[in-house]
Amino acid sequence: MVKVLFVCLGNICRSPMAEAVFKEKVREAGLEERIEIDSAGTGDWHTGNAPHEGTLDILKKNRIEAEGLKARQVQKEDLNQYDYIIGMDAENIGNLTRMKGYSESGEIARLLDFVEDGAEDDVPDPYFTGNFDYVYDLVEEGCTRLLSHIREKEGL
Ligand code: 4NP
């Protein structure tokens, strides 16, 4: 099983969106028995909460399943248990890198680093910008490229 964890700050806007979009792509590819997916936040303010209304709305608009998404805080063990830890922005990457010790083996990367010709490096935080449509487009493209990367690397 290849394990993928999406990480943002609050785990209510961007990373649950990426989790749901990536799950849909993995299902479409028939790889749901091969790739396990979750999301978490570097902060703990929203632990146990459902995603933000803006994330739920955009997922619904795109007919993507949002059932069961629930916020949690990323733990040090996650960095060993997940093969790919995918942050949404440079701040997430900084926080994850500081958490990672010698024994944690997961690869930490930023989602939009897989989109080589993209306009953005960071997925902007819609909690502050309110622009869930733009974030969805970035997350969608990032997830497409990430899945290609994982399929090639893992021989799936
Ligand atoms: P997210 O957005 O990291 O995309 O889930 C945020 C959600 C909540 C907060 C910050 C960012 N907050 O400060 O509560």
CATH class for the region spanning 2-154: alpha beta
* pTM, to two decimals: 0.98
> How many A from CA of 55 to the centre of ligand 1?
12
User: 27-55, pLDDT tens digit by residue?
Assistant: 999 999 999 999 999 999 999 999 999 99
Whether 143 sits among the annotated catalytic residues: the reply is no
Of the candidates 70, 68, 114, 50, the residue with the CA atom closest to the CA atom of residue 88:
114
Query: Catalytic: which of 78, 110, 125, 143?
Result: 125
Residue whose Cα lies nearest atom 8 of ligand 1: it is 10
Q: Please count the other Cβ atoms lying within 10 Å of the Cβ belonging to residue 11.
A: 30
The 10 Å Cβ neighbour count of residue 102 is: 5
Question: Could you read off the pLDDT of 97-116 as tens digits, one per residue?
Answer: 999 988 889 999 999 999 99
